[in-house]
A and B are shown apart, each in its own frame.
Chain A
Amino acid sequence: MAIPKRKVNPKGETVISVSGLTPKAARYSRIFDFLVVAAVVPLFAGAFHLHVMLTVGDWDMYVDWKDRQYWPLVAPISMIMFPAALQAIFWVNFRLPIGATVGATVLLITTWLGRYANWWIWTGFPFTEGVPSQVIAGALLMDMALIVLRNSLFTSIFAGFAFGFVFWPSNYSALAPFYLPVEHQGMVASLADMIGYTFPRSNMPEYLRIIERGTLRTFGSSVSWVSAAFAGFICIFMHQLWWQLGRFASQTTFLKNGDVVKSFMGMKSRRAS
């Protein structure tokens, strides 16, 4: 396994040379890298996808839940959590500005995998009904802010806000065609409404949708931007909270083990305690 020898400064120092690893040690360290990546990808595909499904799943799952009031608000608030924690884990311990992108990327890939293997193959829902949201745009901005600002607090303030704020425009580009108007039974419907209506979910009556209702809106047509700004505001705090949680999760605390258990497990020496 080849280790790229990047000369990163004029003295010819590389990360490996400064780390003091011998070539063979560096090879095993690279194997370790592969193992860690092999753990990170499925672990966060599983944990993050579960988190998203059970906190804002309905908005993310169905095209006819993607409204202007709640979806751009609740989805980024929930979806910033794991990326923020991963950012802390990768940055604080390894100075890798990729944590948020890792989270957002595995989420989008695994979501589409589910859409294909479960939604389409098993229950037969058309892909249009389950187009998910993506947070890669916001996550990339968070990682970029971190590499420039190198400070979690400023990252929270600027990039946490950006994460929430760009959720609406960055997803609208992908979903705009689904908001075309159609006339159905003498009433207006968006294509998204029609998709949800045409391909029925037996256990999802129309009223179950938690979406914008009624007509009176103070800001008129800018409902979505108000939601985006509010989402950005909340995301500032969410980012910092989850950054701290990521740091907490990186701790190496060992609690004291009882002598009986230790000797039971094979620890003979008293010195160990």
Chain B
Amino acid sequence: MSDAALGRTPNVTGTKTFSINYGLFAFAIVALTILYICARLYQQAFGFSMGLDASSPEFDEYWMTLFKIELPVLYGAGALCWTYLFLTRDKNIEAITPEVELRSYFYLTMWLVVYSFCIFWTGSFFADGDGVWHQTTLRDTPFTPSHIILFYATIPIYLFFGVGSFVYAMTRIPAFCRGISLMHVFAVVGPFLILPNLGFNEWGHAYWLTEEIFSHPLHWGFVVLGWCALALAGVLMQIVGRFRELVPIVFKQDAASA
């Protein structure tokens, strides 16, 4: 990971020219797109052929193996990234220059763009697939071919970027370290809670509901937590608010040096 994209400060204090590095951002979008498409292709290849009978050995081989691999890998990757962000934090965050701070705001925005991108694949694309899968086939396990991707792959991926954006902001941007952005907490913790809410979902399916009405109140926990996406508006306003102070300083310097 490049220092610039992670907002590390050390050698740039004297620079008067403002610039942004898009490399890591573009890489994340491309890599995620490939990852999601591969996940969908895997469902296409092995959903109906190996994933209909949870008691069969093929199911174990193709689906439970994937489940056992993806969970530690994806959560492990998240934990590594968050730890890295923390360890490489600016140890004197108050002292960063306006250029660095402005750049960090841009990078925070990019984190949030990638987070939003992940929300799309999870909340729309794979959730839609989950809906149609469960109305098509009979549910005989909580670990169905659509759940193994939706709940146990795409959710850890968006957590990677949601929590990542939070750790990034807290370790790189003074305002987000000085105070805790309420709306940022909502935007990250709401979707995060979808994961524990799965417990309620599966409990309900086990005891009450074997039929798939997608709009059943049992699923509304996910809905309320999904509403938290709106809270990113607050983060946007926090960013814009700080831009008002930073932009004149950064670009005045730039104009003076020109």
Q: What's the nearest-Cβ distance from chain A to residue B121, in Å?
A: 7
CA distance A93 to B128 in the complex (A): 32
CA distance A238 to B79 in the complex (A): 40
Q: Chain A: which residue is nearest B221 at the CB level?
A: A54
Chain B, interface size: which category?
Answer: 35 or more
Chain A contacts for B175, CB-based, 8 A: 254
Q: Does B50 contact A (CB under 8 A)?
A: no
Q: Does A186 contact B (CB under 8 A)?
A: no
B86-111 to A contact mask, C-beta < 8 Å, 1/0: 00011111100000000000100110
Q: Does A220 contact B (CB under 8 A)?
A: no
- Asked if A39 and B92 sit within 8 Å, CB to CB, the answer is no
CA distance A2 to B246 in the complex (A): 22
- Asked if B121 and A46 sit within 8 Å, CB to CB, the answer is yes
Q: Does B196 contact A (CB under 8 A)?
A: no
CA distance A160 to B239 in the complex (A): 31
Q: Does B119 contact A (CB under 8 A)?
A: yes
CA distance A55 to B213 in the complex (A): 10
- Asked if A254 and B182 sit within 8 Å, CB to CB, the answer is yes
Q: Does B179 contact A (CB under 8 A)?
A: yes
Q: What's the nearest-Cβ distance from chain A to residue B19, in Å?
A: 10
Q: Chain A: which residue is nearest B170 at the CB level?
A: A265
- Asked if B182 and A250 sit within 8 Å, CB to CB, the answer is no
- Asked if B135 and A201 sit within 8 Å, CB to CB, the answer is yes
The answer to whether residues A255 and B234 also contact, given A43-B229, A208-B211 and a CB cut-off of 8 A, is: no
Q: Does A67 contact B (CB under 8 A)?
A: no
Q: Does A214 contact B (CB under 8 A)?
A: no
CA distance A21 to B250 in the complex (A): 11
Count of A interface residues, CB-CB < 8 Å: 74
Chain B contacts for A53, CB-based, 8 A: 127-128, 131, 214-215
Chain A contacts for B179, CB-based, 8 A: 254-257
Which of A40, A125, A251, A257 is the one whose CB lies under 8 Å from B180?
Answer: A257
A6-31 to B contact mask, C-beta < 8 Å, 1/0: 00000000000000111011001101
Q: Does B124 contact A (CB under 8 A)?
A: yes
- Asked if A122 and B129 sit within 8 Å, CB to CB, the answer is yes
The answer to whether residues A203 and B112 also contact, given A113-B125, A254-B179 and a CB cut-off of 8 A, is: no
- Asked if B135 and A266 sit within 8 Å, CB to CB, the answer is no
B208-237 to A contact mask, C-beta < 8 Å, 1/0: 000111110001101100110111111011
- Asked if A251 and B117 sit within 8 Å, CB to CB, the answer is no
Q: Does A267 contact B (CB under 8 A)?
A: yes
Chain B contacts for A36, CB-based, 8 A: 109, 236
Q: Chain B: which residue is nearest A114 at the CB level?
A: B128
Chain A contacts for B212, CB-based, 8 A: 203-204, 208
Q: Does A35 contact B (CB under 8 A)?
A: yes
- Asked if A122 and B43 sit within 8 Å, CB to CB, the answer is yes
Q: Does B177 contact A (CB under 8 A)?
A: yes
A114-146 to B contact mask, C-beta < 8 Å, 1/0: 100111011101000000000000000000000
- Asked if B211 and A46 sit within 8 Å, CB to CB, the answer is no
- Asked if A50 and B232 sit within 8 Å, CB to CB, the answer is no
Chain B contacts for A208, CB-based, 8 A: 211-213
Chain A contacts for B92, CB-based, 8 A: 266, 268
CA distance A146 to B214 in the complex (A): 33
B165-183 to A contact mask, C-beta < 8 Å, 1/0: 0000011001111111111
Q: What's the nearest-Cβ distance from chain B to residue A259, in Å?
A: 11
Q: Which of A56-64, A162-170, A229-237 is the interface stretch? A: A56-64
- Asked if B174 and A93 sit within 8 Å, CB to CB, the answer is no
Q: Could you write out 26 A-B pairs with CB less than 8 Å apart? A: A22-B254, A24-B251, A25-B247, A29-B243, A29-B247, A39-B113, A39-B232, A43-B115, A44-B229, A50-B123, A50-B127, A54-B220, A54-B226, A93-B240, A121-B44, A201-B136, A202-B137, A208-B213, A249-B230, A249-B232, A252-B238, A255-B182, A266-B93, A266-B171, A267-B93, A267-B178
Chain A residues within 8 Å of B, Cβ to Cβ:
20-22, 24-25, 28-29, 31-32, 35-36, 38-47, 49-51, 53-59, 61, 82, 85, 89, 93, 110-111, 113-114, 117-119, 121-123, 125, 201-205, 208, 210, 245-246, 249-257, 262, 265-269, 271-273
In the complex, the 7 A-B pairs of residues with the closest C-beta atoms, listed nearest first: A254-B179, A46-B123, A42-B120, A114-B128, A47-B229, A43-B116, A50-B123
Having A53-B214, A252-B238, one finds 20 other A-B pairs with CB under 8 Å, namely: A28-B106, A39-B113, A43-B229, A45-B123, A46-B119, A54-B226, A89-B233, A202-B136, A249-B186, A250-B233, A251-B183, A251-B234, A252-B234, A254-B180, A254-B238, A255-B181, A265-B171, A267-B174, A268-B93, A268-B94
